[in-house]
Amino acid sequence: MLPFVQNIPMISIWLCVLGGLCCLMLRAHAAKILSLLMCCTQVVLSAVILTHTLYAGASFNYQMGHFASPFGNELRAGPLEALLALCISVVMLLSLMGGADDLKLDIPENKRSNYYIMTSLVFAALLVIIYTNDIFTAYVFIEIITLGACAIIAIKPGGRTLVATMWYLIMSLIGAGLLLFSISMLYGVTGHLLMPGLYESVAVLAATGQYTLPLFILTGLMCAGLGIKCALFPFHSWLPGAHASATTASSSILSGLVVKGYIFLIIKIFVRVYGIQVMDMLHITDILLILGVFGLLFGFSSSY
C-alpha cells in the first residue's frame, strides 16, 4: 500500500477539478472564497510533497488506477516537480488576490463564477503538466490550458478582447497541431508514450544511428509547436495583445503560469525524453541558442 503522501499529486489535481465544479453552483463571492481556499490548500499540499521528496532524497511514481504501462498512466513527483507546483500555487493565489478589484470592474457579476471555474481548470491542467510521466497526457492538458486561457481572456467584454482571444486561439491551435504531429512521429519510431520508455528508446536509436533525420525533424516540430504556444522568438508578436486586453488577474496567470508551464514542458522533454547528449547530437540546442541570441538582440534594439 502506497504512503498517503504519494497520493497527493493526484489529490491536488482532483481538488482543482472539484473546486471548479463547485464554483459552478456558487455565487461570485463564494466562488472567489472557495478558489482562494483551494489555492491555499494547494500551497500546503505542494509543501508537503517537497518536504517528503527532499527528506527521502528520491522521486516517486504514481500509477493511475494501479495499471502498468502501456494500459495505465503515471504521475511522477520529485523535488523539482514539488517546487514548481508550490510556485504555481503561490502565483495563482497572488494573481487572484491582486486582481480581485479589477476583476469586479472588468467582468459582469453574473460571469465571475465562470471565471473561477476556468482558473481552476487552468490550475489543474498546469499541475498535470508538471506531474505527468506521459507525453500524450501532457499534450491533452496543454489543450485544456488553451481553452481555459481563451476563456479567461474573452470573459472581459469588448471587441478588442475578442480579437486578441481569436489570435490566441489560432496561434495556439497551430502550435498544438505541430506538437501532436511530432508526438505521433515519436510514438511511431519508439512505440512508447511514457517518458522513461521514450528515453530508453531514443538513446538506443541515437546510439545505433537509426532514424536520425526523423528524430531531428520531429524534435524541431515539437520545439516549434511549444515555441509558438509560449511565444518564444520568433513566434512572439501575437501574445502581447492577449495580455493587454485581459483583466489583471488573467494577464498575471497567462504570463506567470501558462507561458512558464509550456517552457517547463520543453525542458522536461529535453531532459527526460531525449537527454542532453541526444539534443547535442541533433544540434537542436545550437539552433535554440542562435534563436535566443537573435531574440535578445531584437528585444534590445526594439527598446530604443
Q: C-alpha grid cell for residue 196?
A: 522513461
Tally of domains in the chain: 2
Kindly report the three-state secondary structure assignment for every residue of the chain: CCCHHHHHHHHHHHHHHHHHHHHCCCCHHHHHHHHHHHHHHHHHHHHHHHHHHHHHCCCEEEEHHHCCCCCCCEEEECHHHHHHHHHHHHHHHHHHHHCHHHHHHHCCHHHHHHHHHHHHHHHHHHHHHHHECEHHHHHHHHHHHHHHHHHHHHCCCCHHHHHHHHHHHHHHHHHHHHHHHHHHHHHHHHCCCEHHHHHHHHHHHHHHCCCHHHHHHHHHHHHHHHHHHCCCCCCCCCHHHHHHHCCHHHHHHHHHHHHHHHHHHHHHHHHHHHCHHHHHHHCHHHHHHHHHHHHHHHHHHHCC
pTM for this predicted structure: 0.89
Residues 80 and 2 in one domain: yes
Q: Is residue 269 part of a domain?
A: yes
Q: Is residue 138 part of a domain?
A: no
Residues 128 and 193 in one domain: no
Q: Give the pLDDT score at 302.
A: 58
Residues 108 and 210 in one domain: no
Q: How far apart are CA 49 and CA 89, in angstroms?
A: 13
Q: Give the pLDDT score at 89.
A: 92
Q: How far apart are CA 142 and CA 120, in angstroms?
A: 14
N residues, the chain = 304
Cβ(115)–Cβ(152) below 8 Å: yes
Q: Give the pLDDT score at 93.
A: 92
Domain boundary among 112, 133, 154: 133
Residues 188 and 292 in one domain: yes
192-203 pLDDT per residue, tens: 888 888 888 888
Residues 207 and 113 in one domain: no
Residue ranges in the chain whose pLDDT is less than 50: none
Residues 128 and 199 in one domain: no
Domain boundary among 133, 154, 182: 133
Q: Give the pLDDT score at 226.
A: 86
Q: Give the pLDDT score at 107.
A: 83
Q: What is the CA radius of gyration of the chain?
A: 20
Q: Give residue 243's domain range.
A: 174-304
Q: Give the pLDDT score at 72.
A: 64
Q: Is residue 153 part of a domain?
A: no
Q: Give the pLDDT score at 68.
A: 63
Q: Is residue 237 part of a domain?
A: yes
CA 221 from centroid of its chain's CA atoms:
18
Residues 129 and 182 in one domain: no
Q: Is residue 288 part of a domain?
A: yes
Phi, psi torsion values for 36, nearest 5 degrees: -65, -40
Domain boundary among 101, 133, 165: 133
